[in-house]
Structure 1
Amino acid sequence: MKIGLSTAILWDYEELDVPKAISHAVDNLGYEAVEIHCEEPFFEGWGSKKAEKTKKNIKDVLSIIDAEVSLHAPYHDMNIAAINNGVSEEVVRQYEECIETARYLDSEIVVVHPGFVSSRKYRREMSFQKMIKNLKKITKSARDAGVKICLENLSSKAKAMCVSISEIKKTLRRVDMDNLKVTLDIAHANTTKEGPVTYAKKLKEHIAHIHVSDNTGDDNHLPIGLGNIDFEATLEKIQPYPGLLMVEGWIPTNEDPYLIYDRRELERIRENLKSVGE
């Protein structure tokens, strides 16, 4: 397990500089990997020709540091289950751009949010089928690029797709492609009745990526220790796990001490779990 950091946590609206965030995460905070959010304002110019300069700057900084990288597909203002055909086509276009960016940056992981039912007037199955159709498109593109699509379990909300373990597994079966995997968001799992330990146990064979943050059952992403999640018990259920642990928990001001603590706590857990699953 390598321990990484979402660069969105380090966002400084005065600088708007992803390469600096990457360098800070690795060189100053000691992380072994980074996750890059492919959307404005986290990725300058995303969705337009202006993004090419940002991509090059990111590749340049990744070439001089020792770190792995994953990408997070855009999800603010986006819905892969959108009924509106124009919106749906734009979502697929931007996700395929994210896949191509992953290939360019030598990343094997693109995290995707499953989407949601846009209105109570829509039958859930109609939105679900649209999500499946679009997931098949992007997962095929990802397969051709040597990339895994890692579907993230969402927090417990009525309109959200792939909150439950059963709907996640149903989605994997319907798409039926080997490179469609699961991003286990531990904090999101903690908003459900089953909880993160059960999610880890029942989804183990599908998990290829993990998001780490804490909460007390609400939809917050806090530093480790500020919630009630047992991370060691959760991570023990998926051993041996060769993938990335991406820290998403943050405090809006003076975040560095919390991020250093998160890394050290995950290093401690990693050491404790070394012999599990061998």
Structure 2
Amino acid sequence: MNRIGLSTSSVYPESTAHAFAYAAQVGYDTVEVMVGIDALSQQTAAIQQLSEHHGIPVASVHAPCLLFTQRVWGTEPWGKLERSAEMAHAVGAEVVVVHPPFRWQREYAAGFVDGIAALEESTGIAFAVENMYPWRASQKRGVEMYLPSRDPSDEPFAHATIDLSHAAIAGDDPVAMAERLGPRLCHVHLTDGTLSAKDEHLVPGRGTVGSAAFLKHLARTGFAGEIVVEINTRRCPGPEERAADLAESLEFARQHLRVAAP
């Protein structure tokens, strides 16, 4: 059965250190480090120490390419990806998750496909480009904010990530996207969502995107990549409720992978 990891973003507003503690407490196999505004998440030595202390490997590093992390590790996008690869090497991760460029990053976007391929060749790290979604203020049609495409299956990337919350808000079928990607799909952000205008990152099973069917598809097709729980627990009143949501997500993943496993 696939390893199930926990994204450090899943415990926000608690810290990266808390994420490792939750992962060990609940029983996750790995951790994905979201490099963000938490200073610990930016420090390779600190991540190594947390991994060793809790006995949990780091499966992947999420590059700081969100809107609110535009100044983390500088403002030059290729430099951010190079530093992400350096961290991944140091902590033993094989995957860096990266978003496609924003539409205003035109020079970065123009060379993005070839640049990602060059980085993979020079670093030996898989840069798994993540699916995104249109921005909108209501249920109406949104504005496409990513170049060259919000859907990694539209471009010849060697590696891709499917995020189920992003698929939900975009109205995309994640199983169909996985079929288009084929073996290029190497990473999954397990979560859930609806057709809301918000990127919800619900506990899997609490939305309408079909997270159970998606996991069963992965199991039936022999998906061998990493599955990382990336949910929003900001509204949890305390640590016990947060841990319960994390445990529910982990059990959901194992249950549906096990049911459909050959």
TM-score under structure 2 length normalisation? 0.81
Does the 8 A contact of 1:204 with 1:237 survive in 2?
no
- Paired residues in the alignment total 239
CA distance in 1, matches of 2:18, 2:6: 13
- Letter aligned with residue 44 of structure 1: L
Structure 1 residues 78 and 255, CA gap change in structure 2 (3 angstroms): closer
Instruction: State whether structure 2 residue 37 is matched by structure 1 residue 40.
Output: yes
Structure number, greater radius of gyration: 1
Aligned-pair CA distance for 1:246: 0.8
CA distance in 1, matches of 2:154, 2:173: 19
Structure 1 residues 74 and 66, CA gap change in structure 2 (3 angstroms): closer
Instruction: State whether structure 2 residue 123 is matched by structure 1 residue 145.
Output: yes
Aligned-pair CA distance for 1:45: 7.5
Q: Specify the SS of the correspondent of 2:156.
A: helix
Q: Specify the SS of the correspondent of 1:149.
A: strand
Aligned-pair CA distance for 1:78: 7.4
CA distance in 1, matches of 2:30, 2:18: 14
Q: Which residue pairs with 2:206 in the alignment?
A: 226
CA distance in 1, matches of 2:69, 2:46: 28
Q: Which residue pairs with 1:55 in the alignment?
A: 44
Aligned-pair CA distance for 1:104: 0.7
Gaps of 5+ in 2: 136-142
- Letter aligned with residue 203 of structure 2: P
CA distance in 2, matches of 1:45, 1:150: 19
CA distance in 1, matches of 2:162, 2:184: 9
Instruction: State whether structure 2 residue 260 is matched by structure 1 residue 273.
Output: yes
Does the 8 A contact of 1:92 with 1:134 survive in 2?
no
Does the 8 A contact of 2:205 with 2:211 survive in 1?
no
Please point out which of 107, 123, 145 is paired with 1:160.
145
Q: Which residue pairs with 1:111 in the alignment?
A: 97
- Letter aligned with residue 32 of structure 1: D
Aligned-pair CA distance for 1:192: 3.1
Aligned-pair CA distance for 1:102: 0.5
Does the 8 A contact of 1:71 with 1:102 survive in 2?
yes
Q: Which residue pairs with 2:138 in the alignment?
A: none
Q: Which residue pairs with 1:95 in the alignment?
A: 81
Instruction: State whether structure 2 residue 191 is matched by structure 1 residue 213.
Output: yes
Gaps of 5+ in 1: 47-53, 81-85, 119-125, 174-179
Q: CA RMSD in A?
A: 2.5
